[in-house]
Amino acid sequence: MSTENSPQPAAGHDEAEEVTNSHWRSTALASMANYIDAGSIVAGSTGLAMWQTKFGMSNHYVGVLGAFSSNAISAGVGALIGGRICDLYGRKRIYQYDLLVYAFGILWIIFAQNAWMLVVGYVVVGLAVGADVPASWTLIAENAPKQARGKLGSLAQVFWNIGPLITLWLALVLSPLGELGTRLVFGHLFVLALVTWTLRRKMSESARWKALAGQPQQNGAQTQNPPFWRNMSQLFSHRYIGAVVFLTVMYGVWNLEAGTGGFYLPYILRTVGGQGQAASVGLQSITFFLGLVVLAFVFMPLNDRVNRRVLFGIGAIIQTVGYLLFAIFELNTTVALSNVILLGLGGGVGQQVFFQIWSGELFPTQLRSTAQGFMFAVVRIALGIWSFFVPVLAATGFHTLAWILTGFLAVSGLVGVLFAPATAGKSLERIQEERDAQFEARASSR
């Protein structure tokens, strides 16, 4: 069996080590990528209806804002660029500038006086958070002990729920202030970005990447770059294309629903369901609170020890039922409450967290960030194209939109259950060795 494409453990990296405070601290700092990503999306959702009225935006312009925001296209472009930079020049390289760029974009949104300033701000924010995601997710996967990789990885998803939750609660408390309240919500993201940038400057580079890149390790060891170090085309070779397609479809189809809800749910509840600003924001916060609880008390303790296929399937079914309620019944407070509860419960063991974990496990070190960045780009850009049509669909036929979103969840869940990899508790090197062996066995049988 050839192991040319399988990285060896980095010098000094003990796969049997226990989780330490250092693991938790570095993972928490990396996980702030999820907080500021989801936080910026949800902050926009809470102010969307207000912005539309203040700036006289048409439904089509609202679609443009959603499409090019950090929820979609700009984040995808940032991830594509940032992921490749991480593999070529190091995971930490992105951390030198990305949150400063993010803070600059947030300032455009805070001080926006017209619609085009919102678009500029969201594009800049999206580029920054998109670049941060593959850097952070890769660092988490490569620094975690094998028996706790899922646990540490899911901490990032805890932050993905904390970010929107705090953002929504701030929006709820500040809703009496109207436009000023929305600007203050974005202000807290600006402060957090600068604080996180400062703290991250002391983080260490991935030992696995340093070993593969030929950089000196703590013990002085040094290795040579692999033959295809700078060849991105390897990502689309027969060896890896299956994983790329599986993860992109599973996560991408699900994200069409998740992105729609994350950015547009309060807008839909206000314009279609007749809810007030406080009620629509409060309802959406329930999803993130329940997702946080399930992640912390179900997924984190179990996912490294149980059958992940079963765990994933349970989450997918619960989420699909949640949107089926929107498709069948009239949109009222009871239906909306049932929807957000089921989405929160299912999302805690659903596609987002599994995409992060599996995308860090199914690719070798020299392609890990590139793969994550490419897939994240495809997913977010697809969401951006879809976002053009959401406000119009919601205004002309909400049940049609709900049936489409239900279908997205069902397809994503089916793909995940059918092709879920068995990677729990294995080192990244062992996973690659097993996948190489499977690939070569298939190749020899043809």
DSSP 20-68: -HHHHHHHHHHHHHHHHHHHHHHHHHHHHHHHHHHHT--HHHHHHHHHH
pTM (two decimals): 0.86
Q: Output the pLDDT for position 276.
A: 66
**pLDDT score recorded for residue 175:** 81
> Which CATH number among 1.20.1250.20, 3.40.50.720, 1.10.1200.10, 3.40.50.300 corresponds to the domain 24-213+233-445?
1.20.1250.20
Map out the domains of the chain as residue ranges: 24-213+233-445
Burial class (CB in 10 A: 0-12, 13-18, 19+), 276: exposed
Q: Which residue type is seen at 89? A: Y
Q: Say how many residues make up the chain.
A: 446
Query: What pLDDT, on the 0 to 100 scale, is given for residue 274?
Result: 59
Handedness of CA 314, 247, 255, 166 (dihedral sign): positive
Query: Could you tell me the mean pLDDT of each successive run of 10 residues in the chain, 446 residues long?
Result: 39 60 92 88 78 84 78 89 92 90 94 90 92 93 91 91 88 86 93 94 89 64 48 86 97 90 66 63 82 93 91 96 90 84 93 95 94 94 83 73 92 97 91 91 81
H runs (alpha helix) in 239-307? 241-271, 277-294, 300-302
| Under 8 Å between Cβ of 94 and 132 | yes
For the chain, what is the total number of helices (H) and then of strands (E)?
18, 0
Cα-based distances in Å from 234 to 209, 240, 363: 17, 8, 11
Q: Could you say which DSSP state residue 223 is in?
A: -
- Three-state SS for 292-343 is HHHHHHHHHHHCCCCCHHHHHHHHHHHHHHHHHHHHHCCCCHHHHHHHHHHH
Token couple for 232: 């991105």
Residue 438 makes CB contacts below 8 A (sequence gap 6+) with none
Q: What's the token pair of residue 138?
A: 């890769």
Contact 109, 74 (CB under 8 A): no
Residue type, 378: V
